[in-house]
């Protein structure tokens, strides 16, 4: 089951990334990257983690993804061949920012 969820995570990551790239109009100079996907064991929910460059545009990007969630979900459902179809939600991935903080602290020591 774990291998299946990992495969589904990768498929969702690829499809949602393609949808964001081809179907959404995000303002110029803002880059949204899907960093990872965590799908629940019952395949009903999938958290899609995104990183945004530049960081100051994270709120804009998440609001845009929230507004377009229905369209993204619809397009994803047409591509996926699983049942049940996971309901997606977007989360900001703070891993990179936390890594930068740790790196700065280590340099200070």
Residue 71 is encoded by which pair of tokens? 């369209």
User: For residue 90, is pLDDT > 90?
Assistant: yes
pLDDT at position 49 = 95
Residue 13, pLDDT score: 96
pTM more than 0.85: no
Neighbours of 108 (CB within 10 A): 6
Poorest-pLDDT segment among 24-33, 66-75, 100-109: 100-109
| Closest to 65 in 3D by CA, of 29, 16, 28, 12 | 16
- For residues 32 and 52, give the distance between their C-alpha atoms in angstroms, rounded to a whole number: 5
Q: Which one has a higher pLDDT value, 17 or 98?
A: 17
Q: Is the pLDDT of residue 44 over 90?
A: yes
Q: Which domains does the chain have, with CATH numbers?
A: 2-108 (3.30.300.20)
- Closest of 48, 42, 49 to residue 85, by C-alpha: 42
Distance of alpha carbon 20 from alpha carbon 78, whole angstroms: 15
* Interatomic CA distance for residues 85 and 80, integer angstroms: 7
């Amino acid at each position: 089951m774990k291998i299946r969820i990992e495969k589904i995570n990768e498929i969702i990551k690829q499809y949602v990334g393609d949808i964001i790239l081809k179907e959404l109009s995000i303002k110029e100079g803002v880059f949204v990257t899907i960093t990872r996907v965590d799908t629940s064991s019952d395949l009903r929910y999938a958290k899609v983690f995104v990183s945004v460059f530049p960081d100051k545009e994270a709120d804009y990007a998440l609001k845009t993804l929230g507004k377009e969630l229905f369209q993204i979900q619809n397009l994803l459902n047409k591509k996926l061949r699983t049942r049940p179809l996971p309901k997606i939600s977007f989360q900001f991935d703070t891993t990179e920012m936390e890594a930068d903080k740790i790196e700065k602290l280590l340099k200070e020591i």
